Amino acid sequence: MGLPDEKIKKQVIEQLYWDARVDVSDVKVEVSDRNVILTGTVPSYGARQAAETDAFIIEGVLSVKNDLQVKFAPGVTIPTDEALTANIETLMEWHPNIDTTDIAVSANSGRVILEGSVKTYWEKMSAQDLVATLGGVVAITNLLTVVPSEMIVDQVIADDIISALDRNAMVDAQDIDVKVENGIVTLTGTVSSASASRAATTIGWYTKGVRDVQNNLIVA
């Protein structure tokens, strides 16, 4: 049995107040049947992502719906879409592990779209995380596809993920079924927390040969 909703709400709010990255003055937290809903505004996209992560790590949380909107503080200089695009391209070019050769970046009123392809799923998510750190971003659509530089047999990918799950203290590998078809990973089963579910997904992201991760895990 998980924590009651009011206890979860209290801990989420306390976590948000603790996190120096998040301005909670305009953030509202609701909890229904251990499902957290975040609404209101934050001053940056990075703060929006940080708030979501903060909610996920609280004991008893089953899911987090992030409806926070980015509203820049008064007096903040907002870059043009052209400048924002240039900033993103420069930042990714400086990243030692992201090959930007086939990545196209565009922005429309601060809404960033990433298109093209990368060699690993980790690069896809790293590119998105980098964009989230920049001022002027209000939303990110990640349309990057993963085209591995070397083809790895599905069973090898599955075995690698299962081994990594077994080594991870946050998850019980016996509770998770891993299926891989054409590099696309599907995770099913029941885990004890939202943090465990995210940990399992992250393991999929970092495994060689993975093209996509479908998380169908149930948190109970």
Please, how many CA atoms are within 13 Å of residue 149, restricted to the half-sphere of its CB? 6
What's the rounded Cα separation, in Å, for the pair 122 and 105?
Answer: 18
Tell me the average pLDDT across 52-68.
Answer: 93
pLDDT at 75: 87
Other CB atoms within 10 A of residue 96 CB: 4
| DSSP code of residue 114 | E
Residue 75 lies in a domain: no
Instruction: Give the total number of structural domains in the chain.
Output: 3
Q: Is the pLDDT of residue 7 over 80?
A: yes
Instruction: Report the SS3 class of residue 197.
Output: helix
CB 54 within 8 A of CB 15: yes
160/130 same-domain check: no
Domain of 58 in residue numbering reads as 5-70
- The CATH number given to whatever domain includes residue 107 is 3.30.1340.30
Q: Which of 99, 114, 146 is the last residue of a domain?
A: 146
Kindly list the distances between the CA atom of residue 92 and the CA atoms of 29, 128, 149, in Å, as whole numbers in the listed order. Answer: 34, 10, 19
pLDDT tens column, 70-107: 999 888 899 999 999 999 999 999 988 899 999 999 99
**1 — pLDDT class (breaks 50, 70, 90):** low
The answer to whether residue 198 is domain-embedded is yes
Question: Residue 2's pLDDT band (boundaries 50, 70, 90)?
Answer: low
The reply to whether 95 and 114 lie within a common domain is yes
pTM of the model: 0.84
113 and 158 both lie in a single domain:
no
Average pLDDT, stretch 4-14? 95
Same domain, yes or no: 133 and 162: no
